[in-house]
Amino acid sequence: MRFTLKTILFFFLIIKNAFCENQIIRIGTTAVAPSLGNPYKYTGHPHLYTFSATFDGLTRFDEEGKLNPWLAISWENKTPLTWEITLRNNVFFSSGRSFNSDAVIAVIKYLLSAEGVTEPVATQFSFIRDAEKVDDYKLRIHTHMPSPFLPRTLPLLHIVDPNQWETLGPLGFSRMPIGTGPFQPVKYLNNKIILKAFKGSWRKPKVESIEIIAVPDAYTRTLGLISDQLDIALSIGPDEIRFIENSGGLGVAWLSADLWSINFHHNKGTPIDNLYVREALNLAINREELINGLLNGVPDIPSQPAPRNAYGFNEKLKPIKYDPERAKILLANAGFPNGFSFVLEGAIGVGANDAAMYQKVAQDLSAIGVEMKIQSIPVSQLIRNVIEGGWEGDAFGLNYTSLPTLDVLKSMRNHSCLWPKAWYCNEKIMPYINEARVTFDKKKSLDLRHKIMKFYRNQWVSIFLYQAVRFAGIKQNLKGFSEIHNFIPYEDMYFIKQ
């Protein structure tokens, strides 16, 4: 088929007019990242919304959980203690400087330094001993111990412009960050971060600017979307989704690689120390009703403390059944025919509809004679208790997370004897956990993880509730939005004319 110049120009105008030029994507979220543009201060939300736009890691997971090249194009285990990483070339920082091995080595050396080791992200790389340059696009990373999981940690190794970092220091850099991503922050306000497109990024942006705006209340974020003050409303709930869809917007939901659970303080001399009691509490929860009623039916009923797309998920374990009659029998056999009571410490506002979730769990437990008293605590206290201890109740709400490595072993760092202030420590499973952390044998590696998942399921270590789900509202004419394992590909987003 032959095209005339007039025909080509006609199609060019159609394509050009289909997209809006010089536009701003306005994103409403819970808070502006307190760390501003320092990618080593925090690993969770809301910081990752900014980091996804500005920085790149060396690897990245896709939606199915497969590890893909990113700033690194290949990696090879040379010895049990050495990995060789080959980098992508023709990548530039927004300063115009080239990305290369020196930039990666500078980040690693900082995170291993006396100053850098205090950064929260540094704990994810404490197994690294040092790094050396092979050439401009190849380096070797040496570890203290065999580390088969190293490539799975590299999405979190956000690469900064080493010149800007060295010149300004961490605090100065946080206000003037430079990365290789499609958008660079140009202004930090009390409730807003303004980012401009970096057109020289290897991830080509399709719009001119992004604004990340702090709107603490989910309902207010929803109203902002409906009133055309926002284009995306993040961290909302199912009720807000229905409101948005009834008002002409779009609601989206996706699963996070976290499993929500109610975790027990073991060995405190309470009824919860009894295995049959813990099994009874799990069987008493009507998860199908909870998920359909509070989470739009999005998550599946869990079978273990891990999401299905995590490395090491045990497919042989069946979803947990709802069986309140058997739960009553188990309680009676354990010596508690009339039930008992315990105190749950729960932070509200961490997950979608979590306040209603705790009420639903309490309601289901009351049907078998168990009273769960809900003691609301702020998120800051939850974090402090996790790190320092100081719990007052018998249980608390927290997730089993497999991020950033998307590996079932990741949550074992917290939910085992590995944690300094352990709420669950069973020495019987530790040889399996320790061996799984260092073996390079793929079959053995998976087999060990499957055994660990089976052990935690059969010990009913926690009340396993559901895989975490996130909800967002977006404008009808905004295309390309997604969040994939705490990463938003901002370069995919654009507007079309309606």
Instruction: Return the amino acid letter for 482.
Output: S
Sign for the pseudo-dihedral over CA of 327, 331, 337, 341: negative
Q: What is the tens place of the pLDDT at every residue in 89-111?
A: 999 999 999 999 999 999 999 99
Cα distances (angstroms) measured from residue 428 to each of 119, 417, 425, 451, 456: 33, 10, 9, 12, 11
Query: pTM for the full model?
Result: 0.87
Whether residue 222 has pLDDT greater than 80: yes
Find the mean pLDDT for residues 156-166.
97
Residue 387's pLDDT band (cuts 50, 70, 90) = confident
Residue 321's pLDDT band (cuts 50, 70, 90) = very high
Find the mean pLDDT for residues 125-152.
97
Comparing CA positions, the residue from 195, 198, 194 lying closest to residue 182 is 198
- Superfamily classification of domain 17-55+181-249+475-498: Periplasmic binding protein-like II (3.40.190.10)
Whether residue 15 has pLDDT greater than 80: no
Neighbours of 392 (CB within 10 A): 11
Q: Among residues of the chain, what percentage have pLDDT more than 70?
A: 95
More confident residue, 427 or 387: 427
Class of the domain covering 56-170:
alpha beta
CATH classification of 257-468 is 3.10.105.10, yes or no? yes
| Residue 339 and residue 274 in contact, taking contact as beta carbons nearer than 8 Å | no
How much is the mean pLDDT over the chain?
A: 92
Find the mean pLDDT for residues 297-310.
94
Task: Encode burial over 464-484: b for 16+ CB neighbours within 10 A, e otherwise.
Answer: bbbbbbbbbbbbeebeebebb
| Residue 27 and residue 48 in contact, taking contact as beta carbons nearer than 8 Å | no
The domains of the chain are located at 17-55+181-249+475-498, 56-170, 257-468
Find the mean pLDDT for residues 331-350.
93
Whether residue 241 has pLDDT greater than 70: yes
Lowest mean pLDDT among 136-145, 280-289, 346-355, 484-493: 346-355
Whether residue 268 has pLDDT greater than 90: no
Find the mean pLDDT for residues 308-319.
95
More confident residue, 269 or 44: 269
For residue 471, the model assigns a pLDDT of 94
For residue 2, the model assigns a pLDDT of 47
For residue 22, the model assigns a pLDDT of 52
Residue 286's pLDDT band (cuts 50, 70, 90) = very high
Whether residue 4 has pLDDT greater than 90: no
Neighbours of 22 (CB within 10 A): 8
- Cα separation, 342 vs 314, in Å, equals 31
Strand partners of residue 379: none
For residue 159, the model assigns a pLDDT of 98
Whether residue 217 has pLDDT greater than 90: no
Whether residue 1 has pLDDT greater than 50: no
For residue 267, the model assigns a pLDDT of 79
